[in-house]
Every structure is written in C-alpha cells, then in structure tokens.
Chains A and B, each alone.
Chain A
Amino acid sequence: MKLLPRLRALFRQEELDAEMAEEMRQHLELQAERNRAAGMDPDEARYAAERQFGNVASVQERVRWQRGWTRLELFAKEIGFAARALRRAPAFSLAVLTTLALCLGPNVAILSALYTFVYKPLPFPHPDRLVSITNVSDRLGGAKRPSSIPQYQDFVAHADLFEGLVYFSSITATLGNVEEPVRIFGMNVSPNFLGAVGIPILLGRGFRPDEIQPGRERVLVLSHGAWLARFRGDPQVVGRVIRLDDVPYSIVGVAAPSIEMLFNDVEFFRPRVQVPVDLDARFRYSASVRVLARLKPGVPIAMAQEQLAILERNFLDSVASPADRAKIAANHFHVDVADARREMAAPLRAPLWMLQGGALLVLLLGCVNVASLLLARTSAQRQELAIRQALGAGRGTLLRQMLAESVLLMGTAGVVGLGVALAMLRFMNAYLSLVVRHVPPMELETPVLFLVLGIVSVLVIVMALVPFGFWRAADLKPSESPHASMGRRGRRTIGILSIGQLALALVLLVGAGLMLHSFARVLAVRPGFDAARVIQGRIYLPPARFASPPELLGVQQRIMAALGAVPGVDAVGLSADFPVQEKFNTMPFVVHDASAATGQERAFVYTSGVSAGYFATMGIPLRDGRLFREDDDMRKTPVAVVDETFVRRFFPGRNVVGMEFAFGTSPPSADRPWIRIVGVVARANLSGLEGRDGWPFVYLPFNQQATTAFTFLVRTSRPETDIVREVRERVRTIDAGLPVYGVGSLQGALDYLLGNRRALLVLIGLFAGLALLLAAVGLFGVLNFDVAQRTREIGIRGALGASRRQILSLVLQQGLAKVAAGLVLGIAGAILFTRLLSRMLFDVSAADPLAYGGVVALLFVVGLAASWLPARRAAKVDLVVALRAE
C-alpha cells in the first residue's frame, strides 16, 4: 500500500502539481476572505493572506519533497538537460563517442582473451587445489616432461599430502562406422579421472578400477560435445558400440561439459589399458602420462613438492640401478608441482599482457583527446557557466551537470565499445579456430563486464572532473566576451597533452615497425626445401590389423608404389612424423671418437625418420657422402644423414662422414650399436623459417623404424585438389579402412607456423595505427582550436603588416614544434620500452635504425599534414571579421 501510491505519484507529477497549486490558491482565497471579514480592505487582505501563508513556492517544494521522488527526478532532469546540450553539439559528441568506443573495444576484447585463457577458474570443484605434476630436467633447459605410471603409483602409495591423483594422455583415434574414416581426439585416463577431477556424469556411469586390465578396457565415456554433435544428444546412446581404430568399444556414459575449457575438441574418455612396463619401477622417467592431483585442503605447493622430492630420493637410493642413477643425475631431474591453471596459461600470459598494455596505451591516448575536446567545449561555454554561477549555481549543481553529461557520453561510448569488442571477439575466434587447437571460443563473460563497468565509471568521474577543474581554475565573469580565449594556462595544458600523445604514438609505432621488419626478415629466410611443390598427407595403420613390422613395411611399400604411379607425381617420400612442424623429437647425443668432442655445453639435435626418396621429393640437395638406400633396413648397421648445421655447429671444418654417434648422454649399452653418419645434406628449415638458428637435423632411415602412422610426400606441379583426390582413391583401393588426413601443401604448413607472429603483427599494427590516428586528430584539434581562439590576435597581426605566408608559417612552426618535442620524448620512451620486445624480434636489433627512421619520417609527415589545414585556415582569416567589435 505504501509503495503503490508512491509509484503512482511518480507518473502523475504534473497532475499532482496542478492540484496542489489550486489547493493552495483556494487556501489563500479563504484566508483573504477571513481577513476581509475582519475589516481589511481587499488588497490588504490579499497581502496579509500571502504573508500569513508563507512562501508558496517554498511550501510546494516541501510538499514535492515529501512525495518522495525528488532526488531521482532532479537527476533525471539533469540527464535530460545534458542530452539536449549534447544534441546541440553533434560534432563534439560524435567525436567523443567514436574515439572512446574505438579505444574501449580492443581493451574489452583483450580483457576477454585474458580472462578466458589465463584467469578464468577451471570448471572443477576447488580448482585452486588442482595441480600438475611434471618431471623437470634442468639439463634439458628446464623443459617439463610428463610423468609415468610407475612414478604415479609411487605417488599414490606414499604421497599423502595429495588426494585424488589422476593421469591422462591425449590421443587421436580413427572413428569407424562412417564412410570416410575420420581422426578424432580423446583422452586415455586413469579410472578415477572423471570423479577425482570433478567432471559430472550426465548419463550412464564413469569407469571402474578394473577397466584398465587388458580385455576390459573396451569402454568409452563420451564428451558432451561429441554426444551432441555425433549422436545428436540421443538419450539412448549408453550401450551403443562404436569402432575406434577398428576395435569395438561400448559407450558406458556421457560426461557433462567441463573438460572443454582445457581441451576443447576432446570427444571421448577411455581407460588407459595397463601394459607390463607400467608395473616396472625402473621405467619411472618414461614420460608416458600427464599427472594431475588435488592438494589436501590447506597444503601449500612447496610442502607437497618437498614430499615428492623425498619420494624421488628414496627411489634413487633403493630401487634405481647404478646406471640409471648416473643417467638421472646427469639429467638433473626433479619433480615439479605447479598450479594446474597456471601451467595451462603459461605460454599465453606474457603475450596477452603485452597486447593489453598496447590497448591501454591506446585508451590513454583516446582519453587525452577526449579531455582536450572537453576543455575546449567548456571554454566555449564559459559565458554560460559564468551566468549560471552569478545566478547562484553552487559547486554541487555545476558538478552534477557535468556528471550528467559525462554519464551520458561515457555510458553510450561504453555500450558502443562493447559492440566493437563483440565484433573483434568474433573475428579473433574465427582466426583462433584455424590456428590453434584445443581452445574454447571467447565470449563476453560477467567478470569482464563488471570490469568494464568499473572502467567506464572511472572515466565518468575523470571526464566530469576535467571541465569542473577548468571551471574552478578559471576566473569567470559574465561580462567577459564569449570570444575571449581560454587563457595561456589552458592552452598550454592542451598543448602538452598533444605532445604526450605524439610521444605515445611513436612508441607504439616503433614497436609495430620493429615487428614488421622482423616479419620481413623471417619471410626472407630460404626454406631450404621446395615447399611450394610438395603435398603432404598422413595415413594411420590400425595396430589391430598391421601388428608386425613386416606387415607395416609391406603396406607402406604398396602405398609408396601406388602414389608414385599417379600421373603428374615426380617423386614420393615418406616421413615418420609431420615433415614441417614447430617441435621435433629432440635428443642429446654422444660421439664414439672421444677426441672429437662437440665442444658445446649442450648438444642436441632434432631427429626425423625419413625414406630414401624423401630428400629428392623435398628438394634437399646432398653435400657430402650418400643418401639412404632402400636396403638400409633393420638388418644392417644403423645409419643416419645429418645436415650442414650439424657440421658447422659441432665439427666445423671436419669431415663427419663415417663418424659414429649414439643418442643419449652416455655411451650405449653393448646390445645397442653406434649409429654411423653416411651423408650430409643442405640445411632445411623444417621447424619453420624462424627455426633457422635452431638445432641441427639428424635424419634416420624410415625403414629402420616401424611406425603406425606416417606422412607421405608427393612432389608435383598439378593443383593440390586433383592430386589429393587421386591419392585418396589409390589408398582406398589398397585398403578401404585407412584414414587419410592432415592433407595440405608444405607451404601451407610453413605459413601456419608463422601464424602467431602474423597475429601479433596485425594486432600491434592495429594499435599503432589507432594511436597514430588519435595523435594526428589530437594535434589537428589542438592547432585548430588554437587558431580559432587566436582569431583576433591573428587579425591584429595582419593589420600590423604580417603577410599571409608569415601567418601560415607561424602556425606550421607551432605544429612542427610539438611534433619535434613529441619525437624526442617518444624516442626516449621507445628505447626504454622496446627492450620488452627483444624476445620477439628476428634478425633485428631493438634499436633498428630502419624502423626508427621510418617511424620518425612517418610521424613528421603526418604532423605536417595535421598542421597544414589549421595553418591555411589562419592564413585565410578575414581581417575585418577578426577585428570586428563585439
């Protein structure tokens, strides 16, 4: 009952006011009547009545206040007033809106990326207790390697500071039951994985502990995404049988969506079947599974790591053989416990924060521009402000007015900025899905929205205080001419702000310039192989059907022969792994001849298993010795071919053909022979153009390693689509169940490896471009405003004899002086900040003269252009108009 009349009152204000006015009028009439009856004459009676009543307006105010909506009403009126004022200055409002929206958009987008990839808590219960356990080898450069089942079982048995230890490994499998066999991603997990990590089961059940025994592991739990996409959310899916790698698996359950945040394209979970080596404690460092665990409540990570270190020491002291002990000590393994979220986010944290820094700089530039615009507008309103002040407007009233305008402007800019951010996010998601696997798409999430609200609120307050501060600092008089200039202090502040903008823009531009130059240098690196004419594809041979090495080799030979028979194919080669990828198998090695030490502190090589025809197919020329022959199979001595970098880096000036070596950090045991180098080939940058200075390659014969999946390479001048079609057909005739996947040209693979660098360049370039635009607009605005303010002064100068050219050069000088100051300041800042970029530069120093020179020239030209128009305007000032009396 109390709220309802109040709400009704809100909507009937005018009506109620009219009623109240009439009521009081009647009251006065009655009082006047009473006075007349008491003997006063009509006029006196009227005055007396009014006196007795009191100030009518004041009473009405108090009644309105009682009605209760006054404060809200007042503010709504202020907003309405502000809206009308802004509508009357469309250029100003539009400029502010556009500037801020363009600056807020990228910030919100990158904040979303930071949240999704780095800071969003994992969707599992108590995510802060989830840790990742790895083995770190200091000798291998601090690289984190996975754990193993024996090590895991040791943890389970003795590490009581943990609860819920699980292991998993990512795998790909071929999904049968479809026309075109397709490769899908999944996880081999420990039986307690789903329960311990905290992934709820939607349908059916999880795994039982006995399901890692061979024969009982043919069960699957589907991920939520796979359930929806491949089985259309069928509620009867539990119990269905599907074929993975040609083996039937029974679906026992469906998981709720939560693993998608870590591994977006996981489609199934499968118990990792136990193999004999799992129970052999000596294989502790075989790096086969990743271990996650939950810390018991209140246990700090350092304490848990200590406990695991003790377990490792126990292992070394009691179980490890002396040889193992030596090897482990040589590699300096220690166990590392790290927060799981941080581990996942680690590679992205630094680049994303760098981008956020750039975006914040751009926002700062935009705010400076907006502040200048506000100052200019307030100066133009000085007469109005002075009159209001004279009429009694207090500090509070004027501040409220400026706040109302600020709320409208910043609020609208925030909304539009969100729109820009959404567009950017959509673009970024599309790009990411092409470049990176396993990432969930980014969305505008609630914490980010709250942060944006906070930023906008800060902007509202700051942008209200700017005109308020100006008003307080200025000495306003109503009689002052509205054309009076702002005063030197105001103009100087705006001028200094403009110089700051130019400096900031220069810093960003130098960063972009350095990245651009680096990119050009990377592209200038010769691949060392004929990427344009080689097409790759991968084939998987299910172990169920091709179990023994002779069977594997046999089908590989048949495939090679079939591919060679395709018209237009010049050469065919095979590679065990992907021929072009970022990370190859990295191995340390030792040399048989003790005198031929490598002379290097750390000597590693990339290894790649390739067929005899590989080098010809890839177009890698031979430099010394010979290439592989088809008969370099497993019966003969193991051989290898190395590249030029191997020779240059480890044995400069020596002949390595005939040299023997072995992988590892110590000489091989008696049953494993040394490997003999039979040839040297030219350097091929198979780890990408940026990997030019990476480890040397050691090629091993394909025939000496049996693999279940391999890559075929065909050299051809025919278009890719034709070749691919024919290849698929030929493979299908050999065996219909062999999936062919990962098809593409090697040039595409090389480009893919440049994806990160390209993305970074685009983003930094975008920020630098925005910064330049903002700084140029800022400079133009400042000079323009200045000319407008000094119209009379220019008129006087002209009347005193200054030529148009002299006036033109006056303004130009002013503009160029600011540009020069900005350049000096900016270069100093750039030298400081580009040190942060040095890790990402390629063949380019942080003080690259080309980048700096180019940017300075660009800024100079842009500054000149921005100064030109106002200068011309000054020169065209009509002296008569300028000197006209007020």
Chain B
Amino acid sequence: MDKEKAELLQGTLDMLILKALQLEPMHGFGLAQRLKQMSADVFQVEMGSLYPALVRLEKQGWVKGEWGVSDANRRARYYSVTASGRKQLEEEKAEWELLSRTINLMLRATGKQET
C-alpha cells in the first residue's frame, strides 16, 4: 500500500479500534480477531499497524492498557476505552458519517443541477 492510503487508514483504524474496544476490553490478539470478525473478514489488520495504533491511542489518553489475567490463566495486556476515548469515538463517528455521506453524494452526481 502506498503512503497516502496508509495515512487515511491510520485514522480510520484508530476509530475502528476504539469502537471494538468500546464493545469489550481486549488484548492485542483478541482485538485483531474481533476486527476481522466485525468486518466480515475484509479487514485483516497487520500487527505492524495494530500495535503502533494501540500505542498511539494510549499516548492520546483514549485507551488504557493494563496487565491482567486472561481465561486460561495467562498474563495478557488488556486495552480498554477511557471516557475521553468514548468522546473521541463519537466525534470521529460524526466526522466519518459526514465525510462518507458527502462523498457518496458527489459520486452519485449526474451533472444536472438538483434542486
């Protein structure tokens, strides 16, 4: 993927991670599986994108990482959404909806002036 596309996806990935984590706090492996499942197998996120994204979200304070114990008694790092993360998700959702609505509108343009 070339750089331009990667950047657009970076912001979108952050938003999708926030959405997934909002449903349930998860560790990295679980998050990857959940994203795959939520997108009906379309998005298979690379670890080289996922983990840096988690660090990014942590730096912004939208996500908090804590060591915990998984089922099967394993030590794992669980990530959960913070209050400001929830707010950020709402903002980004609104922005995305506006963006996609506008783009869809423009793609449907026929050249005739619509009243």
Please indicate the chain A residues that have their CB under 8 angstroms from the CB of B92 in the complex. none
B-facing residues in A15-73 (Cβ within 8 Å): 19-20, 22-24, 26-27, 29-31, 33, 53-55, 58-59, 62-63, 65-68
Q: Is A6 an interface residue (CB 8 A)?
A: yes
Q: Across the interface, do A53 and B61 meet the contact criterion of CB distance under 8 Å?
A: no
A323 within 8 Å of B (CB atoms): no
Measured CB to CB, the nearest residue on chain A to B84 is A1
A26 touches B46 (CB 8 A): no
Question: In the complex, which of the residues A22, A26, A54 contacts B47, with contact meaning CB atoms closer than 8 Å?
Answer: A54
Tell me, yes or no, whether B59 is within 8 Å of chain A by CB. Answer: yes
Least Cβ–Cβ distance between B73 and chain A, in angstroms = 12
Instruction: Tell me the minimal C-beta distance from B30 to chain A in angstroms.
Output: 8
Which of B30, B72, B77 is the one whose CB lies under 8 Å from A19?
Answer: B77
Q: How far is the CB of A18 from chain B (nearest CB, A)?
A: 12
Is B58 a contact partner of A5 (Cβ separation < 8 A)? yes
Verify A26–B48 contact, CB threshold 8 A. no
Residues of A near B30 (CB, < 8 A) are 30
Residues from chain A with a CB closer than 8 A to the CB of B27 are 23, 26-27, 30
Across the interface, A29 reaches (CB within 8 A) one of B46, B48, B74, B77, namely B74
Partner of A5, one of B28, B48, B59: B59
Q: Which A residues are in CB contact (< 8 Å) with B56?
A: 66
Counting from the closest, the 8 A-B pairs by CB-CB distance are A66-B52, A30-B29, A66-B55, A27-B29, A23-B77, A59-B48, A62-B52, A59-B47
Q: Are B52 and A23 in contact (CB under 8 A)?
A: no
A2 contacts B by Cβ under 8 Å: yes
CA gap between A67 and B47 in the complex, in Å: 16
A542 to B27, CA, bound (A): 99
Nearest B-chain residue to A65, judged by Cβ: B52
Residues of A within 8 A of B76 (CB): 23, 26, 30
Instruction: Give the chain A neighbours of B46 by CB distance below 8 A.
Output: 54
Cβ contacts under 8 Å, B74 to chain A: 26, 29-30
B45 → A minimal CB distance (Å): 11
Chain A residues whose CB sits within 8 angstroms of the CB of B52 once the complex forms = 62-63, 65-66
Set of chain B residues within 8 Å of A33, measured between Cβ atoms: 72
Contacts A19-B77, A22-B75, A26-B27 known; A59 to B61 CB distance under 8 Å?
A: no
Assembled-state Cα–Cα distance A797/B103 (Å): 84
Instruction: Name which residue of chain A comes closest to B55, CB basis.
Output: A66
Known: A6-B59, A19-B77. A62 touches B48 (CB 8 A): yes
On whether the beta carbons of A1 and B77 are closer than 8 Å, the reply is no
A20 to B52 CA separation, bound complex (whole angstroms)? 11
Which residues does chain B contribute within 8 Å of A30, judged by CB atoms? 27, 29-30, 70, 74, 76
Please give the number of chain B residues whose Cβ is less than 8 angstroms from any Cβ of chain A in the complex. Answer: 22
Bound: A58/B27 CA distance, A: 20
Bitwise, B27-42 to A at CB < 8 A (1) or not (0) is 1111000000000000
Chain B minimum-CB-distance residue to A55: B48
Q: Give the contacting residue for B59; candidates A2, A19, A22, A62; CB below 8 A.
A: A2
Closest residue to B53 on the A side, CB-wise? A66
Q: Which chain B residues border A24 with CB–CB below 8 Å? A: 28, 47, 51
A54 to B59, CA, bound (A): 24
Q: Which of B55, B67, B72 contacts A63 (CB 8 A)?
A: B55
Partner of A58 from B29, B48, B61 at Cβ < 8 Å: B48
15 contacts between A and B (CB under 8 A): A6-B59, A19-B77, A23-B27, A23-B28, A23-B76, A24-B28, A26-B76, A26-B77, A30-B29, A30-B70, A53-B47, A59-B51, A65-B52, A66-B55, A68-B59
Task: Please give me the residue from chain A that is nearest to B51 by CB atom.
Answer: A63
Distance of A524 from chain B, by nearest CB (Å): 81
Give which listed residue, A20, A31, A54, contacts B48 with CB less than 8 A.
A54
B61 touches A26 (CB 8 A): no
B55: A residues at CB distance < 8 A: 63, 66-67
Q: Which chain B positions have C-beta within 8 A of A62?
A: 48, 51-52
- Interface contact B48-A27, CB-CB below 8 Å: no
Question: Is B60 close to A, CB under 8 A?
Answer: yes
Inter-chain contact A27/B28, CB cutoff 8 Å: yes
| Shortest beta-carbon distance from B49 to chain A in Å | 8
B87 to nearest A CB, angstroms? 14
Smallest beta-carbon distance A689→chain B, Å? 78
Give complex CA distance A63, B59 in Å. Answer: 12
| B72: A residues at CB distance < 8 A | 33
| Alpha-carbon gap, A26 to B47, bound state (A) | 13
Considering the chains assembled together, what is the distance between the CA atoms of A63 and B75 in angstroms? 20
Shortest distance in angstroms between B61's beta carbon and chain A's nearest beta carbon?
5
Residue of A nearest to B72 (CB): A33
Among residues of B, the one whose C-beta sits closest to the C-beta of A56 is: B47
Q: Which residues of B contact A53 (CB under 8 A)?
A: 47
CB-CB nearest in chain A for B52? A66
Chain A, 575-589, CB within 8 A of any chain B CB: none
CA gap between A68 and B72 in the complex, in Å: 34
Shortest distance from the beta carbon of B91 to any chain A beta carbon, whole Å: 17
Give Cα distance in the complex from A24 to B27, angstroms: 10
CB distance from B54 to the nearest CB of A (A): 8
Tell me the minimal C-beta distance from B92 to chain A in angstroms: 17
Nearest-neighbor residue (CB-CB) of A60 within chain B: B51
Chain A residue at smallest Cβ distance from B56: A66
Interfacial chain B residues near A29, Cβ < 8 Å? 74
In whole angstroms, what is the CA distance A417 to B44 when docked? Answer: 60
In whole angstroms, how far apart are the Cα atoms of A30 and B28 in the complex? 10
Question: Taking A26-B76, A62-B51, A66-B56 as contacts, is the C-beta distance between A31 and B61 under 8 angstroms?
Answer: no
- Are A26 and B75 in contact, with the CB atoms below 8 A? yes
Q: What CA separation (Å) do A31 and B30 show in the bound complex? A: 10
Q: Which residue of A lies closest to B60 (CB)?
A: A2
What is the distance, in angstroms, from B57's C-beta to the closest C-beta of chain A?
10
Minimum CB–CB distance for B102 against chain A, Å? 30
Contacts of B77 in A (CB 8 A): 19, 23, 26
How far is it, in angstroms, between the C-alpha of A6 and the C-alpha of B61 when the chains are bound? Answer: 11
**B29, B52, B60, B77: residue with the most chain A Cβ atoms closer than 10 Å:** B29
Residues of A within 8 A of B51 (CB): 20, 24, 59, 62-63
In Å, the complex CA distance between A66 and B57 comes to 10
CA A391 – CA B3 in complex, angstroms? 28
Tell me, rounded to whole Å, the shortest Cβ–Cβ distance linking B1 to chain A. Answer: 14
**Contact status B47-A2, CB under 8 Å:** no
A57 to chain B, nearest CB (A): 11
Q: Evaluate whether A31 and B59 lie within 8 angstroms (CB atoms) in the complex, with A53-B47, A59-B47 already known.
A: no
The distance in angstroms between the C-alpha atoms of A356 and B11, with both chains bound, is 59
Report chain B residues within 8 Å CB of A65: 52
> Which residues of chain B are near A20, meaning CB under 8 Å?
51
The answer to whether A2 touches B29 (Cβ under 8 A) is no
* Residues of A close to B75: CB separation below 8 A: 22, 26
Residue ID in chain B nearest A22 by CB atoms:
B75
Q: Is the CB of B61 within 8 A of A1?
A: yes
Least CB distance from B55 to A in Å reads 4
Nearest residue in B to A3 (C-beta to C-beta)?
B59
Interfacial residues of chain A within 127-166, with CB under 8 A of chain B in the complex: none
Q: Which residues of chain B have C-beta atoms less than 8 A from A66's C-beta?
A: 52, 55-56, 59
A2, A24, A27 — which one has the most chain B CB atoms within 10 A of its CB? A27
State A59–B55 Cα separation when bound (angstroms). Answer: 12
Nearest Cβ distance between residue B56 and chain A, in whole angstroms? 6
In the bound complex, what is the Cα–Cα distance between A2 and B76 (angstroms)? 25
Set A2, A23, A63, A68: member contacting B61, Cβ < 8 A: A2
